[in-house]
Every structure is written in structure tokens, then in C-alpha cells.
Amino acid sequence: MTRAYSAAIGRRKLIKTGAIAGGVIGASQLGSPFIISARGEVPIKVGLINPLTGTLSALARTEVQGCEYGFDEINKKGGILGRQVQLLVEDSNNDVGTGVQKARKLFDRDNIDVLFGDVNSAISLALAQVSSQQGKLHIVTGGHTDAITGKDCHWNVFRVCNSTVMDASAIAQVLMEKLGKKWFFMTPDYAYGHSVQAAFEKQLKAGGGTSEGVLAPLGTSDFSAYLIKAQAAQPDVLICLMGGQDQVNCLKQFVQFGLNKRMKLGGALFELESIQSCPPEARFGWWDLEWYWNQPDVPGVKAFVDGIEAKTGNIATARHWFGYVACYSLALAAAKANSLDGVALSKAMEGLELPPEIAMSRDKAYYRAGDHQLMSGILVGEAQNPPPGGNKDDLYKIITSVPGEKAAGPVADSGCSIKFPA
């Protein structure tokens, strides 16, 4: 029996939702526990695995909320192929073995039709092995390491968030021009960290820069030894590639040690959840975001922001958007394929362009056929404190948007070769 899982996010949740039509959305169906169309009484089951505990939990929880909101909205508009959707959420506990165990349970016992997750890149890579063996569509919502849509890509795996190459390419030149070319990397010691540092180093080397750095384990709370090494290196800029609570701890101590007076600060992602958790004096530096709530000129953004705030009491973040996009990507692909078969869904996902109100992007957003990576605009800018009397959540100033295709480079460079089952 699936245990109840509250909006505040406990261990697991079963969320009952509905579908899409107009080719995507069918007639509105509301009821409890299910209103089932004549097409079939068996609900569609979507499994979501994310690290709801540990250093990445804040990011994972908002992704879950985004999925909940997406399927809630879809439910009020009908049903995916005329059927309800159940979202079954499992905690990977930021551990590869646990994530794989949860995936096998979801497939073998819960009989899920589609898999979402994980925020942790190493877990996403492991889950991709399981989902491809099962022959089911797998949408990686928030794991960034290149290999997911690169050398370790699979026919059934698609990714919403950027690759590390995309994030690094979008901002590396800006960092060199504005902050300098002598860098010190503060990097998490797992798949994502290794991948994103390599992407930055490639850009830095091409620009004539130099670097040093350290690797810090996930869950590091005391960065003093690492920051002492950074100080001794006397770089122009600290490139902080940590994520979640690790990033918050690192930046707090960076300021406490007075290093903000000796070097600049920047990196790839400084996500809104993390910016909000930092003290005001640590909210600075140059970063990129994959989506931001304060874009009044972009279709769909205001309605989404209002909806997330009404549901959660919080401002929408990129992680909410990741979950929401994953839900609608499944619905759109199912309508296109008129099937939940893994191969049919995956082929329908190739080249799938998101409608403007779902993409909520300044640039075209679509899944590239060659590597199954979502191409969408990357927002480059500065972290900031809100102005006096301004919105307390407006913690990022967008300077420019880089199209996904430009940041990603050609498919041939990704190392991906898609091979569908015979």
C-alpha cells in the first residue's frame, strides 16, 4: 500500500491526477478517488525517484512539487489517453544503490509505465540502466552530468535540465571577461562535479586561462581547509560548483573568511533554493539559471508562478519548472504516439517542441533527436539582494539568454549514439 505523502514532502506520495487533450487534453474529469473514462480503468503510473533527504533535498522537493502541480493541472483538463495518472515518489537518499533498489521496486512491484528522476547525476546514470532494461520511457528531471545525454545515453532516456557542457559554455566567456582567467575550482566529488569542471576547464584553456582546485565530498559542512587552499592559490575568481546545502555552506564560509574581498565569485548554477538559503552578504557573483520566475515578457510564466505560489506558498523555481515540463512532455508524447509503449513514446519525444506556455523560455525549447537533450534558453546573470521595498524573491538579475543549441554544440560532439531496440 502506498503511504500518503504531504505537500511538505515526506517519504513517499501517491498523487492522483489526470490528462491532456486536444490531441492532448480531453474532457474535464474530476472526482474522488478516480473518474475513469471508458477507454480504460487502469491508471497510468509514473515513478519519481529523488533525494528527499540529504544535501540535495531542497532541490528534490521542489521538483516533486512541480510534478504534483503539473499532474494536478493536467487532471483538471482530462486524462492522458483518457486515463488517470498516479505519481509514486521514492526517496533515493542521495545513494546510488538505494536509487536502483527503488527503481526496481517501482518497475517490478508497482508496475510503473514511466520513470522520472534523479537530481543526483550518478543516480540518474544508474537509473538509466534500469529503465532501458525495462524498456520504459525515462525523463531525467534534474541530473546534469554530460554522460546522461552523452557517451552513456540510452534510446529511452530524455533530459529536461541542461548538460554540464551547456551550463559551462553559456557563462564561461562572461566569467573570463568580467572576473579574470585565473580560476580556483570548488567541486563536488561525484559525477556532476567532475563533468562540469571538465566542461569549464575546456572553455578556460581555450581562452588562455589557468586553474587549480579541490574536490569536496557531498555533504561537506566545513569548507575551511578547502578555502585555505583557495586563498593560497590567489586566483582571480573562485568557481563554486557545489550544489544544494553544500553550496550554501561553502558561500557562507567564503564570506565569513573575508575571501570575498580577495577574489571574485562565480560558477554554473546558483539555484534559487540555494540563494534564498544564503545570508544577504553571500548573494552575489555571476551564474546561470535554467529558468527564472521574474520574466514578465515570457508567455506562461505569470500563470505558472501564480499557480505554484497558490499550491506551495513559495515562489516558483527552475526545479518546479523541471517537474512541470516532465509532466507535459509525457502527456504530449503520449498524445502524439497514441501509446504508452516505451519505444513509441521515445520516438514521439524526439524533436518534440514544447508549446510556449509550457516552455516558458525566451528561446525555442525542444528535445533534440540526436541525444535526447532538451534545448532551451540558459539565463546568464548576477545574483543580487532584492532592492529596498522590492520583491524578496527577486534574487537574480538576468543579463542575457543563450539558446540551448548554441551552448550545447553539435550532437557529434556529445558522444551520444542512439540505438533503438530492433
Biggest distance spanned by C-alpha atoms of the chain: 69
Angle between helix 318-337 and helix 57-75 axes, rounded to 10 deg: 40
**CA-CA distance, 174 to 286, in Å (whole number)?**
8
| Domain chopping of the chain, boundaries | 14-162+296-376, 165-289+378-408
Give which of 156, 188, 207 is closest to 337, Cα–Cα.
Answer: 156
CA 313 and chain centroid, separation: 21
Q: Are 198 and 143 in contact (CB under 8 A)?
A: no
pLDDT at 2 over 60: no
* Mean pLDDT to the nearest integer, 75-86: 89
- The length of the chain, given as a count of residues: 422
Q: Is the pTM of this model over 0.85?
A: yes
* Mean pLDDT to the nearest integer, 300-319: 97
CATH topology identical between 14-162+296-376 and 165-289+378-408:
yes
Give which of 46, 40, 57 is closest to 13, Cα–Cα.
Answer: 46
CATH class, 165-289+378-408 region: alpha beta
**CA-CA distance, 123 to 301, in Å (whole number)?**
30
* Mean pLDDT to the nearest integer, 196-209: 97
pLDDT at 78 over 90: no
Counting residues of the chain whose pLDDT is more than 90, the rounded percentage is: 86
List Cβ<8 Å contacts ≥24 apart for 250-253. 250/186, 250/216, 250/220, 250/223, 250/226, 251/278, 251/282, 252/278, 252/279, 252/282, 253/222, 253/223, 253/224, 253/227
Check residue 349 and give its pLDDT: 98
* Mean pLDDT to the nearest integer, 202-227: 97
Q: Are 73 and 30 in contact (CB under 8 A)?
A: no
pLDDT bracket for residue 41 (50, 70, 90): low
Q: Are 107 and 136 in contact (CB under 8 A)?
A: yes
* Residue given cell 532501458 in the structure block: 132
Least confident range from 32-46, 180-194, 348-362, 378-392: namely: 32-46
Query: Options 3.30.70.60, 3.40.50.2300, 3.40.1190.20, 3.50.50.60; which CATH number does 14-162+296-376 get?
Result: 3.40.50.2300
User: Rg (Cα) of the chain, in Å, rounded?
Assistant: 21
Whole-number mean pLDDT of the chain?
91
For residue 46, give the 3-state DSSP assignment: strand
pLDDT at 40 over 60: no
Non-local (6+) Cβ contacts of 253 within 8 A are 222, 223, 224, 227
CA angle 145, 142, 305 (to 5 degrees): 145
**CA-CA distance, 254 to 263, in Å (whole number)?**
10
pLDDT digits (tens, 9 = 90+) for 348-397: 999 999 999 999 999 999 999 999 999 999 999 999 988 777 899 999 99
Counting residues of the chain whose pLDDT is more than 70, the rounded percentage is: 90
- Quick one: CA torsion of 120, 122, 124, 128, rounded to 10 degrees? -170
